[in-house]
Structure 1
Amino acid sequence: MAPATRRLLSARFWRSIGQGALVVDLALYLHALGWHGVSIGLVLSGGGLVGAALNITIGVTSDRLRRKPFLLAYEAMCCGCALIAMGTTSAFWLSAVIILAGFGKGANGSAGPFMPAEQAWLAEAIVPQRRGMVYSLNTAIGFVGMAIGALCAGIPAFLVASLGRSGSFRPLFGLVLLGNAINFVLLLGTPELHQSRGQERPKPQPRKQQRRENSFLWRLVGLNAFNGMAVGLTGPLMAYWFSKRFGVGPAEIGPVLAGAFAITAVAALAAGKLTERIGLVRTVVWGRTGGVLLLLLLPLMPFYVLASLLYMLRSALNRGTVGARQALVISSVRDERRGMASSLNALSMQVPQAVGPAIAGALIGAGWLATPFYLAALLQGTYALLYGRAFAPYERAMTAELGNGK
C-alpha cells in the first residue's frame, strides 16, 4: 500500500473519533441548552445545505488544481470551529460552527464537503480491481474511530456533577480539535501525485465514453435523492430518538452507537471481500435490502435493548456497503473527473439528506416517533430496487474493459 494511501486512511481514523462523539451527544447537548427538536433539526439541516453548496465547487476545482490544499483547509477550519464551540453557549455561534463544520452529522470520518478531494486523492495509487477492498477498508477504519468516539460520548455523565448538565458536554469538542490538529500535521507531509492543470483544457475523450460517464452520473444523482432523504430522516437524530422513545441518556446511548459502529466496521471489511467475489453492485443491493427490513421493525421494538440490537444489525447491513458504492463511482469515470463525480455523488445525497433532520425533528418533537422510520424504509426500499437495474450494466462494461487491458 502506497504511503499516501496509508496516511489518508490514518486521517480518516483520527477525524472519525470526534465525529463519533458528536453524533451521540450534539443533539443531546443542544437539548440540554433548551433547544426544541425543530431547532435542532433545522441547524443540522443547515449544515447539510451549506456542505452541499461547497461540495460541487470543491470537487470540480480540485480536479483542476491540487487536492491536498483543500484537505488542509478543512482540518484547519474544523480546529477553529471546535475552539469556538468549547468556549461559548451562544445559540448564534453554536449554530454557525455546527453549520460550517458539519458537526453532528456522523460522517464516518470523511472530510465533509471536502470529501470529493479526499476520495479522488485516495484513488491515485489504487488499481481499479482493488478499489472495492481499499474503499471498504477506509469505511471500516472510519467506523472504528466512530465507535471509539461514541464510547467517549459517555464522558459527560462523569462531569455533570462538576460542570453542570450542559457544561459537561463541551469538553467533547476537544476530541474534534485534537483529531483535526493531528490530521493537519499528518496530511501536510503526505505526497500527492495529481498536479494542477491550471487553465489547461482537458484532453478530448471519445464521445461514447463521455456519454456513458454522463449517463452513469445522471442515474447516480437521481437514485441518491431517495437514499439521501432516508439517511436524513433517521441518521442524525438517532440519539435524540432513543432519548425521547426510551428515556435514556448518553451513558446508555453511547455504548449502543459504539457497538453499531464497531459491527459496521466488520461488515465493511466483509463487504470489501464480497465485492471481489460477486461485484460492487450486488454487494450494495444485498446489504441495502436487509437494512430496509430491519428499519421497518426498529420502531416496533418495546424495549431499549431490543431496539439497540436491531439498530446495530441494521447499521452493519446498510452502512457497511458505503465503501463499495464509493468505489463504483470513482471507477466509473476518468481521473480528471473523479473530484467532480465524487462531488455529484455527495451533493445528490446531501441536499435531500439536509432536509431530513428538519422533518424528523418536527415529527419526533410532535410524538410521531415511528413515522420517520417508515418514510425512510419506503425511500431506501426504492433505492435498493432500482440500484441493481441502474448500475449493473456499467459494472459489467467496466469489468470487460479491465479484462481487455483498456
Structure 2
Amino acid sequence: MIREPIRLQIQKWNNWLGHHPTLRRLQLIALLRSIGQGFAAVETSLYLRDLGWSGASIGGLFAAAGLFRTLIVTFTAEINALLGPKKYLLLYESLTAAAALMVILSSRTVPLCLAVIAAGFGMGHSGSGGPAAPIERRWLGAFSRKLTILFGKHALLGYAGMGLGAFIACLTPLLQIRLPNQEAYRLLFIVPAICAFAGGALILTIQGGARRRSAMGEESRLAASASAAPPPSVKSAISRRMSLLLAAGVIMLGFLILVARGSASFSLLSALMPVLLFLLLIALAMIRAAGSSPEEMAGMMNIVQTVAVTLTSTMSAYWFSERFRVSATEVGLVIALSYLLAGALSYVLIHASERMGPIKPVVSLQLAGAVCVLLLPLAPSFVTAASLYALCSMFNLGTRGTRYAVMMDEQPIRKQRSPSSRLASFLIRLGAILWPGAFGRMIDEGEHMLPFFLAAAVQLFSTWRFSKKEQTKAPLS
C-alpha cells in the first residue's frame, strides 16, 4: 500500500520532466550539474579568501576560468561535430569530477588554479550551465515544440539545484568545528564531484547522441545559404548607427564616472581601466552585429543580458564577506534563497508568457532587476542588502528560460551562426572575462558601490535593446 503512492509520485515526476526518456535524463543531469555549480558559487571565493588570496587574485583566477570557458563555448559547434552531444557532455562531466577531486586532494596553488580554470568553479552564478549549456539546450529543444514550457522547467530545475548546492555550502562552519578551516572547505568539494559522477552515469544510459555526418552536412549547407543572403537593408544601417550611438553613450558613462571620482587613488583608477575596455568590447560587438539578421541580434542581446546578470553575481560571496563580515552560512543562505526565488519566478513565467507573450514580462522584470542592482550597494545593513540581492537575482535570473525560448523559437535548431554573430558573441564574452579581476580590485580598494552601478548600466542597455523586439509577438505555444 505504501509502494503504490510512491510509484504514482514517480510517474507524476516523470510526466512533469518530459514525455521522452532522453528528455527526462537531460533534465536530471542539468539538476545535478546545478547542485555542484551552486555549491561552488558560494564556496570557491570564500575558500580562496581563507587561503589568503586577495580580491584581485581571486578575480584574476576567475578571469582565467572565464577565458577558458569562452574559448570552449566559441568552438562548441566544432567540438560537438567532432564528438557528438553525448560524448561532449560526458567529457564535460568527467572534467568537472576530476577538477573537484583535485581540489579535495591538494590546496597548492598550481593544482587549485588548474581545477578552477578547467571546471569553472565559482563562475556559474547565472545558472546557465557553462560550456555544456548550448549543446544541452539544442538537444532538449529537439524533443518539444513548446519551448517556453520546456525551458521554463529547465530553468526551474537549474535554480532549484543551485539553491540546494548553496544550502550545502552553509554546512562549512559546522565542519570547521571539527576540522581546520581549509580542510572543511576541501572536504565539501566532494559535492560537485558526486554530482559530476552521477551526471556522467546518467549520460551513459542515454540512447543516441552520437556524431551524425548528415547533420554536419546540413549545417554546412545552411552556412552556405546564409553566406549568399542579400546585403543589409537601409533599416539595418540605421540600426547599426543607433547601436553605435548607444554603445558610445555607455562608454561615455564610464568616462564620466572616472572624472567624477578624479580624487580616487591611482590603484582604483587602474582597476577601472579593464572595465572601460569591457564596455568598449561590448560596443564593438553590438556595432558588428547591428546589421545582422533579427534572430542573430536576439541571440546577441540574450548573451549581453546574461553577461549583465553575471556582472552583479560574480564574486557576490566575496563582496558580502568583505562588506558585512558575515560567515559562509549567512552568505550561502542568501544565495540559496535568491536561486530558489529565481526558480519560482521562471515557473510563473511559463504561464505568464502564454497569456501576455514572452517580451513584455521579461522587459518589466529585467527593469525591476536593474533598479535592485542600483540600490544594492546603498544598503546600510546585511539584511537589507541580502533582501535586495535576492530580489535582483530573482528578477534577472528568473527570465532566463523565457529568453532562451524566444531565441530558439526564432533561430532554427540546426541553423549555424554566421561568422559575424560568432565574432560578436566572442567579443562580449571576452569583455566579461575582464570583470572579476576589476571587481576584486575595486573591493580591495574599498569601492563597494561602483561595480554595481556599472553592471546596472549594462543591464539597462541590454533590456532596452531586448524591448525593441516586436511587442505584439504572439505567445509561444
- Residue in structure 1 matched with residue 313 of structure 2 by the alignment: 235
1:379 aligned to which of 443, 450, 458: 458
Cα separation, 2, equivalents of 1:71 and 1:96: 20
Q: Match for 1:22: what amino acid?
A: A
Match of 2:89 among 68, 71, 77: 71
1:280 to 1:210, Cα distance in 2 relative to 1, 3 A: farther
Corresponding residue number in structure 2 for 1:352: 431
Q: 1:105 and 1:377 mapped to 2: Cα distance?
A: 19
Q: 1:126 aligns with which of 123, 139, 144?
A: 144
Question: For residues 160-208 of structure 1, what are the alpha-carbon distances to aligned partners after superposition, in whole Å with 9 as ceiling and x for unaligned?
Answer: 1332122211122100010011111111112346761266354458769
Question: How many angstroms apart in 1 are the aligned matches of 2:78 and 2:45?
Answer: 33
Structure 1 match to 2:99: 81
Aligned partners of 1:107, 1:76: CA distance in 2, in Å?
A: 21
**Given the alignment of the two structures, is residue 366 of structure 1 paired with residue 383 of structure 2, yes or no?**
no
| Structure 1: runs of 5 or more not aligned | none
Q: Match of 2:76? A: 58
Q: How much identity, in percent, do the aligned residues show?
A: 29
1:3-402 equivalences under 5 Å are: 3-62=21-80, 66-107=84-125, 110-127=128-145, 130-192=146-208, 196-197=212-213, 200=217, 202-203=220-221, 214-216=292-294, 218-220=296-298, 222-223=300-301, 226-227=304-305, 229-337=307-415, 347=426, 350-389=429-468, 391-392=469-470, 396=473
The count of residues paired between Structure 1 and Structure 2 equals 396
Answer with 92-101 or 335-344: which moved more: 335-344
Asked whether the equivalents of residues 125 and 310 of structure 2 are also in contact (C-alpha less than 8 Å), the reply is: no
Give the secondary structure class of the aligned counterpart of 1:257.
helix
CA distance 1:119–1:252, shift in 2 (3 Å): same
User: Please, what TM-score do these two structures have when normalized by structure 2?
Assistant: 0.76
Report the more deviating stretch, 11-20 or 31-40.
Answer: 11-20
Checking the alignment, whether the CA contact within 8 Å between 1:135 and 1:323 is kept in structure 2 is: yes
What is the TM-score of this pair, normalised by structure 1? 0.89
Alignment partners' CA distance in 2, 1:99 and 1:385: 33
**1:376 is aligned with what amino acid?**
A
Instruction: Tell me how large the CA RMSD over aligned residues is.
Output: 2.9
Amino acid at match of 2:178: S
- 1:349 Cα deviation after fit: 5.4
CA shift for structure 1 position 346: 7.1
Deviation at 1:306, TM superposition (A): 1.2
Contact 2:103 2:115 in 1 (8 A): yes
How far is the alpha carbon of 1:347 from its aligned partner? 4.8
Call closer, same or farther: CA 1:283–1:193 in 2, change over 3 Å: farther
**Rg larger in structure:** 2
Label 1:346 to 1:239 Cα distance change in 2 as closer, same or farther (>3 A): farther
**1:41–1:361: 8 Å Cα contact kept in structure 2?**
yes
In 2, Cα distance between equivalents of 1:276 and 1:210: 33
